Amino acid sequence: MPYVTVGSENSSDIKIYYEDHGSGSPVVLIHGFPFSGAAWEKQEAALLKSKYRVITYDRRGFGQSSHPSTGYNYDTFADDLQKLITELNLKDVTLIGHSMGTGEVARYLGTFGSARISRAVFIAPIPPFLLKTADNDSGVDASVFEEKKSAIIADRPHYIAEFIKNFYKTEKNLGSPVSSEKSQMDFNVGTSASAIATLACVSTFVTDFRPDLLKINIPCLVIQGNADAVLPFESTGRLLAKTLNSRLVEIEDGPHGIPWTHAEILNKEILEFMSEPKESKSINEAIIIGTFS
């Protein structure tokens, strides 16, 4: 299996597992918490069909990547991504992140710039800044994240099961478009992640990406469901789109897990965005798309 070595801990190398398929312009897909690169199966199929080269990878601590006890911060995550892009000598890349993966997109561009990156897509994003502070009234109170940590420490499998319910809004969507088997598959992936990583990553959710966003100079697309029960739409996707002067696609009644529940809509928007001339950039354009039937 393909790995890139990104560091070491004691006697072991820290390796990032990736998959690299197809040919054409490269697309790097960065998954959300607490899953793996396998979460992109519906997007990977659509991108390969449209003749793109598709690279997925598992964040350190998750999936088939190494499970070290350190490095769970966005500086390290962005450095891991840089090592992967450099190892594969990728150029003219479209970076696509979902949820926690949007943090890598923002921090990577803020740290390493856009020399190798042509476009970026933020799906159900964490940026700009999720924590409520004196200069960020729309954020989430710090106590919420402390409660998440306590829940993970007390019973990580139960926490993940409840997280998946919120991820898909299963009280409405279980059965169709989210089967019980899909929910179980995600539970299996989530619980197979490092317990250390699962807990540590909660602290990364409150990273302030506002300085990174000021450095982004490439076309960006922001897509989010307005019924997102994991990341509040008004203080994440809507605010991010204004900060980036980018196009915002608001999916009516979409939950956090739109790469699965609204894959057809999401894939269409991504492919249309990627087909636009590189020089074009939609400024403060917002559209609302209806939910599935």
Cα distance between residue 79 and residue 107, in whole Å: 9
Return the pLDDT at 280: 57
Return the pLDDT at 284: 60
Residue with tokens 């420490």: 153
Cα distance between residue 95 and residue 114, in whole Å: 10
Residue 284, judged by CB atoms within 10 A of its CB (0-12, 13-18, 19+), counts as: exposed
Residue with tokens 């029960």: 229
Return the pLDDT at 293: 32
Cα distance between residue 233 and residue 151, in whole Å: 24
- Give all strands (DSSP E) within the chain, no chain letters: 3-9, 12-21, 26-30, 53-57, 93-98, 117-123, 220-225, 247-251, 286-289
Return the pLDDT at 279: 65
Are the C-beta atoms of residues 30 and 95 closer than 8 Å to each other? yes
Q: Which residues of the chain have pLDDT under 70?
A: 279-285, 290-293
Are the C-beta atoms of residues 75 and 49 closer than 8 Å to each other? no
CATH fourth-level superfamily of 3-289 = Alpha/Beta hydrolase fold, catalytic domain (3.40.50.1820)
Average pLDDT over the chain reads 95
Would you state the structure tokens that stand for residue 98, as one six-digit string?
Answer: 């979902």
Q: Which residues are catalytic?
A: 99, 228, 256
